[in-house]
Structure 1
C-alpha cells in the first residue's frame, strides 16, 4: 500500500492486491521481489508507519532470521541467521553490512533513525560480490525517499506513555526548474520508566537520567538536480544527535537499592523495580554524527548507465555505563566507550541492460580513521576494597602456616605419613571427640584452615573499618587498637605500606577520588574492491547469474594503556587492572576473491524456484582490549552458503517465500567476557570459532479479502559450533569444545485491515511476536536466578494501531499501543563485569505497556 504522503496522488488508482509488484534493489538492479532469485525481505514505508518503527530494532520482527540488538544505541549490532559480531572494538567490523542510501555504515553509525524512509531491505547469506565490505552473512539496506518533482509534505506528532513526544516532518518541492529539494526531521524524546534516586556529589550540575530515558534527533536535506534527461545529481546532508540515558543496569545484589527495607530480604533482587540508586558519574549515551553524500546517475544510451556514490561521514560517541548497579562507593565501577571516527566511502558502478544479458560492475574505495578510548573507572574506595581482598588472602596464608605448624608440633603429620589432609582430618575429629575414621576423606587441610580463619575474626570487609584493620595489624605483629586507628587517620596505613613496601595500602583520607585505567586505540583502515556480476536470461522462464569480487583490506592499529591519574596523589602506586604501556602498533592486510553463482526458474507467472552458491568474507583485525592481538590478529571470517528457495502466490491470495540454506562459517569473530590469569578484571575479548548452519525461513502473506491481510514469518536453524579454548568472566578455563543446538521457536503474526466505513479510510494493524526463552539450557548460572521473576518466560508481545484518514487525505488520526499484554522481560543474560570481583551483577529489562495517539497533517 502507498505511504500516506503519496496516497492523495494515487487515490484514483486501483487498490493494491497480493499480486502487485514490490520493488527491491537487492542485486543493484530494480526488480520485483517475487522474481529476484535470492533471499531478500523488504519492509515497506507503510509497515514502518503502521508499526510506529523508527529504528532497526523495531522492524526486525517482520523479517525471519534477522535481529537487531536493543540494549545500546552506539554499540548495537545486526544478527542474521544467528550470527552477530561485537561492536565494542574499533579494530573489527560486523559480519553483516549496513548501508544507508547506498553508503556503507560502520559500527557505531549503523543505528540511525527512520525518517521519510522508502523501504528497508534485508538480504540473507553472503553478499560480498555486490556489496563487498563485511557482507559475509548478509546486508541491511536502508533506502530513504529521494527528491521528486511533485510538491508534498507532512507533519506528524506521536504522544504517549512516559511523556513520549515524537515529532516528524517532511517537505518536498521544486526550488527552481529541474532542482528539487526534500527535507525531513524527526525528534524522539521519552522519559525513563525506572526512577534513579541517586544524588552523588560528583554529579552536581550534571543530568541524572532515569533508566530507559530516550532523546534522539535526526534531520536530512537532499537536493536533486535533473541536469538532463540522462543525468541527475543528488547532494544530501544527514545530521543525527543522540543524548540519552546510559545503558540500563538494575542491580541484583545485597548492595543495590532496596525498595522494601522492612522485608526479610537484604538488598534488591527485583528486576522490575520502580526505583534504583545508580551513582554513575556523568552517565550518558551520546552520538554526534553528520554525513555528506553526492550521487551521480548518468545514462550513456539505452543499454549502458553509471552511478557514482561519494560520501563522508563523521561521528563522535560516548557510552558511559554503570557496571555495578549500586550506590555503594566501595563497589563502584563504570566503563565508557568513546569513539571519534570518520569514513570516506566511494563507489563507481556501471550497468548494462540488454535483451538477454544484464551486467553490474564497478570499483569501491573506503578510508576510515578511528580513535577510541575505553575507560575503566573505579573509586579509591573500590580500590581499597580490592586491596582488602588481597590482604585477606595474605592473612589467610598466615593462618594456614599457623595451622600447619600446629599439626607438626602435635605430631599429627608424622602420624598421617606426611599427608596434611589426613592430619587435618584427625585434628578435626579430635576436636569433636569423634573416631578419626569419620573425618578422613571428608575433611581436608583447606577446610581446617578456612574454619580457623573464620574463627579468627581477621577477615576484613574493608580495610578502612577501624576494628577490622586493628585485628589485622595485630596478626602482623603491630599492636594497635581500633581507637588508635580511628584517631590517627592514615598513620597506621602508611606504616603498613612501608612495612610491606606496598603503596596500594592507603588510608581513608583518599576516599571519594577516582582511579582510571584507559585503553586508547587508533586505527587507519583502507579497503579496495572491484566486482562484476552477470545475469543472463536463457528464456522467458530461466535465468542464471554469476559474479566475482576481489577485496583487499589494509589495517593499521595502535594500543596504549594510560597510567592511573591517582599516581599523582599517591606516589608509587601503579595500575591494578592492566599494566600501563606506551603506544605500540601493528599493521596487516587481508584479501579475498569471493563470488556467487545461481539460477532462477519461473515455473509459472506466479511461481518460481531458485538456487545459489555464494562465498563471503570479512577481514581479520585487532582486538582493541587485547594487546596480544598485535602479534596474533584474529583470523578473517570466511563463509560458504548454499541456498534453495521458492517464491510464489498460491490461489491468487497467499504470497509465499521459502528459503533453505546450508552455511559454513570459518573463523567467526565472537566477543566474550574473559578474565585470563594475571588480569584482575573481565573484559570483552574476541575468540574465533567455526560454525555449520542448516536452516529454513518462511514468509507468508495471505490476502483474506480485499483490504484484509494476514502475515506470518518464522525461521528454524540447527547449529554445530566448534570453539577454541578461552577463559570466561570468572577466570575459569573453558576447553575447546563442539556444541550442537537448535534455534528457539520464534514467529511474528500480523493482521492488517483497511476498513471501508464511508468516512474516509480506516486501517487496523496488529502484530504478535513470540520468542521462546532458551535460558533454561544455559549452564553455570548462579542459583539465585531461579528466583528472578520472569527470567525464564517466553517473549510474547502484542502491538496494535488503528488509524483514520479524512476523505481528502489531509488529516490522519491514530491510537496505538505496544506491549499491550504488559509483559515484562529480562533483556539479554545476567551481566556485570563486577559480578565476580565485587558481587554486583545487574541486568536490563524492557519497558511495560505503552499507548498513545498520533496526529498527522499531509499537504
Structure 2
C-alpha cells in the first residue's frame, strides 16, 4: 500500500521515538558496562558565534575533519553522504556543482546564476555554481545548516547553508603529509605545516594535488570523467592580549580536465501520453522514422548516430574530446576587535573565477550534431561588519553587508557543424553586474527560566545590470528559428530591445522568530518560523528561445515552520536530534531543459518532511550513527507539452534531486594493540527513487539505490602515522547523477553516471 507523505512523516516520528526508547534503555544497561563518552562535542558557528552543537536550536549536521577523513570524503561532491536531506550532484566534473537541501536547489547551469544553498568557505560567500565543486583538505569541520538562514547569512540561503571551515594555525610546529594511490591511477597527495613565524604571528600552509584517469572509456579513443586539481591555502593569524584577533586566508585552486562524459540512451514519447520513456524497441523505431525520418537498427542508442547501446553505463561514444579549465582564488581578512563587552567583526573578501569549458559533445554520440562552449570571467567583492555582545540574559548581534559581483559570460552552441545545409553557430555573450547591501540583527533573550526567544530580521536591497548579445552565423540560423524576432535569440537583450529591463532593483526581507526550551541539561526543544529569500535574476545561456518578458524572473520567498528536539545525555555517550518542517514556497525559481532549450521561471509550491539523526558511542572504541529523512515536494501545475500531438496539459510536479526517503548508517571500531591501533569504518546511504529533471518523465526518473563505503587502517596509537586501505561504492552500483531529455533533438536522454567502485591505499604521517 502506498503511504501518503504525512503518514511517512508519522512513521519516521514513530521510528525516532522507538530508536530513542531503545537507546535510552540501552543506556540503563550500558551504565553498568561504563560506555565511553562522546569525545568532545563539536563547536559550530551556525549563529555567527561559537556554540556547542547540541545547544544550537537549528537542524544542523556538523562533521569534523577527522570524521571526513575516516569516511574518505575528499571533495564537495561527496558531502551528500554526511547529512540527511542533502544531495550533491554534478555533470561528471566540477563544471557545475548542485547542492539540493530539503528539495531546494538551482539547476540552471549558466555561470551567472547563484545557488539557494549558500556555500561559505571560512566566512567567504562563494557565489558561483562552477566554483563550489572543490577538494576538501586540511579542514576543521563542515557544517550543514538546513532551512532558511537568510537572517544571518544573506539573501541566497533559502535552502540552507554549507560552511567549510579550515584547520587553524597552531601555536606549536605541527603538520602532516598524506599520499594515496588507487585504481584509475588515482594519486592524491596532501599536506600541511603550521606554527609560529615570529612576532606572535601563526601561519599555516596547506596543499593538495589530486588526479585520476577517466572513469568512462570513449569508444572513439581516450577517456572522460577524469580529475586533475591542485589547490593551495595559506593562513596568517595574530591574537592580542585584549582578546582581539586578526586572520588572513588566501586560497587558490586550478583544474584542467575533460568535458562531461555524456552518454546517449534511446528514448521516445509514449504513443498514448507523450511522456518520454527509455527503450529502443518498436515504439522507439516508429518515433525515429516518423519524427526524424530516420530508420534505426536494433539496439540503437539514439535516432541519428547509428551508435548502439552496449549496456555498459561507462562506455561513451563522444566524437569531441573538449576540455575544461578553471582557476578560482579567494582571499579574506577577518578582524575580531574587542571593545569592552562588545566585539566588532569585520570580514573582507575578494574572489576571482576564470573558467573555460570548450567543445563539449552535447549529444553524447559519435554523430557531430551538437557542441557546447562556456566561458566565465567574474570577480566578487564582499564586506561584512557586525557588532555582537551580551546584556544580562540577552545575546545580540547587528550588522551590515555589501556584495559586488562583476561578471562577463559567454556560451556557444553549434548545430550540425560541417553540414553545409544546416550548420549554425550561436555565440551568446552577456554581462551581469550585481550590487547588494543589507542590514541585519538578531537577539536571543531568556524570557523565562530555560526558555529563550530568538528574533531576527534582515533587509536586503539587490540591484542588477544585465545585457546580452545573441549572434548566429551559418545557413541553419534561419532554418532553425534562431533569427525569429519573437525570441531573445533573434533580438538580443539590451537597451534598444522593446520591453527589455536591463536594470532591476528589488528589496526584500528575511526573518526569524523562534522559541527554544531547555527541558533539562540534556534535552533542547525548539520551534518557530523563518523567512528566506533568493534574489531574482535573468535568463541567459547558449540558446535564448524565451521571449523578452520571460528573460526576467522574480525573487523567491520561502516561509518555514519548523520544530525539533536535541538530546545529548546518557553520560555523554548518546546524541540525537529530530525535526519536522513545512515550507510555504512562493515564486520558486525552477529550471526546465528540453534539449538545448533552457528556461528558469517562477511558480509556487510546498515542501514538508522530517529528519532524525542518532549518534552513539556504545563502548570504548565503538561508535555508530544512523540518520533518516522523509521529504515531500510539490509545485503548482506547469505546462507539459506532448510532442506527438502538440497538446499542452498542466501538471503538478515534484522537485528534482529530492528523494522522498533516505537513510544513512556508519560504524566505527578501534582496537588498541600495544602502542598501535587498528581501525575499521563502514558507511552506507540508501535513497529512494528521485527525479533528475523538472518534468516527471519516466525516462529521467532514477530508481532507488544503495552505496556502501569502507576503510581499514593501522597505525600508531598517538596518530603519528597510519596506513589504510579504502573502497568507495563497494558493490559497483550504477546510478545516474544527471539525465537530460534530448528526445526531440536526437531521440535520446543524455545521461551521466556516478563514480564506479574505487579503491586504494593511503599512508599518512603527522608531527
Q: Report TM bin, short chain.
A: 0.7 to 0.9
Contact kept, 8 Å, 1:644 with 1:660, in 2: the verdict is yes
> Hey, what does 2:354 align to over in structure 1?
316
1:213 is the counterpart of 2:226: yes
Alignment of 1:258-337 (within 5 A): 265=299, 267-272=307-312, 275-280=315-320, 283-301=322-340, 303-320=341-358, 321-329=360-368, 332-337=369-374
Structure 1 counterpart SS, 2:184: helix
1:707 maps onto 2:707 in alignment? no
Q: 1:360 aligns with which of 397, 414, 422?
A: 397
Q: Distance in 2 between matches of 1:776 and 1:575?
A: 31
Q: Which secondary structure does the structure 1 equivalent of 2:205 belong to?
A: strand
Give runs of aligned pairs for residues 505-524 of structure 1, distance below 5 A. 515-524=424-433
Q: Equivalent residue for 1:171? A: 193
CA distance in 2, matches of 1:16, 1:723: 53
Secondary structure of 2:151 counterpart: helix
Deviations 1:39-89 (A, max 9, x none): 111111112111111222212222111111132413212111012112423
1:668 aligns with one of 573, 578, 588? 588
What's 2:4 paired with?
A: none
Determine the structure 2 residue equivalent to 1:851.
Answer: 759
Deviations 1:358-396 (A, max 9, x none): 111110000001111111023444564xx5xxxxxxxxx
Q: 1:383 to 1:225 in 2, by over 3 A?
A: farther
Whole-Å separation in 2 of the counterparts to 1:17 and 1:284? 50
CA contact (8 A) 1:76 1:87 kept: no
Structure 1 distance, partners of 2:355, 2:66, is 32
Q: How does 1:22-171 map to 2 (within 5 A)?
A: 22-71=42-91, 72-107=93-128, 108-171=130-193
In structure 2, stretches of 5+ residues that fail to align are 1-33, 268-279, 281-296, 301-306, 484-489, 496-501
What is the deviation of 1:752?
A: 0.8
What is the CA-CA distance between 1:840 and the residue it aligns to? 4.6
What's the offset of the Cα at 1:141?
Answer: 1.1
Q: Secondary structure at the match of 1:604?
A: coil
3-state DSSP class of the match of 2:90? coil
Q: Answer with 160-169 or 741-750: which moved more.
A: 741-750
1:46–1:826 distance in 2 versus 1, CA, 3 Å: same
Match of 1:685 in 2: 599
Contact 1:250 1:271 in 2 (8 A): no
> Does structure 1 retain, via aligned residues, the 8 Å contact 2:155–2:510?
no
Contact (CA 8 Å) 1:594, 1:617: kept in 2 or not? yes
1:644 partnered with 2:570: no
Following superposition, the deviation at residue 143 of structure 1 comes to 1.0
Whole-Å separation in 1 of the counterparts to 2:577 and 2:343: 32
1:655, CA displacement in angstroms? 1.4
Structure 1 distance, partners of 2:692, 2:198, is: 63
Compute the displacement of 1:109 (Å). 2.1
Q: What's the counterpart of residue 738 of structure 2?
A: 828
Partner of 1:716: 630
Residue of structure 2 equivalent to 1:590: 506
Find the aligned partners of 1:382 and 1:698 in 2 and give their Cα distance: 57
8 Å contact kept, 1:88–1:337: no
Asked if the contact 1:91–1:557 (Cα under 8 Å) also holds between the matched residues in 2, the reply is: no
1-side partners of 2:681 and 2:201: how far apart?
37
Tell me, in whole angstroms, the C-alpha distance in 1 between the residues paired with 2:105 and 2:644.
23
Do 2:74 and 2:135's aligned partners in 1 also have CA atoms closer than 8 Å? Answer: yes
Residue 584 of structure 2 aligns to a residue in which SS?
strand
Uncovered stretches (5+) of structure 1, i.e. residues with no partner:
1-13, 200-208, 388-513, 675-680, 786-790
Does the CA-based 8 Å contact 1:325-1:841 persist in structure 2? Answer: no
Deviations for 1:735-763, whole angstroms, at most 9, x for unmatched residues? 33335799433111100112222242222
**Aligned ranges 1:562-601 → 2 under 5 Å:** 562-564=471-473, 566=474, 576=480, 578-579=482-483, 580-581=490-491, 584-585=494-495, 586-601=502-517
Larger radius of gyration: 1
Match of 1:762 among 672, 678, 689: 678
Give the C-alpha shift of residue 295 in structure 1.
1.3
Please give the residue correspondences for 1:809-820 in structure 2 after superposition, counting only pairs within 5 Å.
Answer: 809-820=719-730
Q: Provide Cα deviations, 1:485-533, integer angstroms capped at 9, x if missing partner.
A: xxxxxxxxxxxxxxxxxxxxxxxxxxxxx74212211001001000010
Answer whether contact 2:557 2:586 (CA < 8 A) is retained.
Answer: yes
User: Which one is further off, 285-294 or 363-372?
Assistant: 285-294
Distance 1:631 1:721, change over 3 A: closer
The structure carrying a bigger strand percent of its residues is 2
Deviation at 1:842, TM superposition (A): 2.8
Contact kept in structure 1, 2:85 and 2:662, CA below 8 Å: no
- Conserved 8 A contact 1:537-1:544: yes
Question: Distance in 2 between the 1:670 and 1:692 partners?
Answer: 13
1:198: Cα distance to partner?
A: 2.6
TM-score norm. by structure 1 comes to 0.75
Shift of 1:732: 5.4
The number of aligned residues is 678
Aligned to 2:80, what secondary structure does the other structure show?
Answer: helix
- Indicate conservation of the 8 Å contact 1:822/1:849, yes or no: yes
Alignment of 1:381-780 (within 5 A): 381-382=418-419, 384=421, 387=422, 515-538=424-447, 541-564=450-473, 566=474, 576=480, 578-579=482-483, 580-581=490-491, 584-585=494-495, 586-625=502-541, 626=544, 628-629=547-548, 633-649=552-568, 651-652=570-571, 653-674=573-594, 682-725=596-639, 734-739=648-653, 743-774=659-690, 780=697
* TM-score (norm. length: structure 2): 0.83
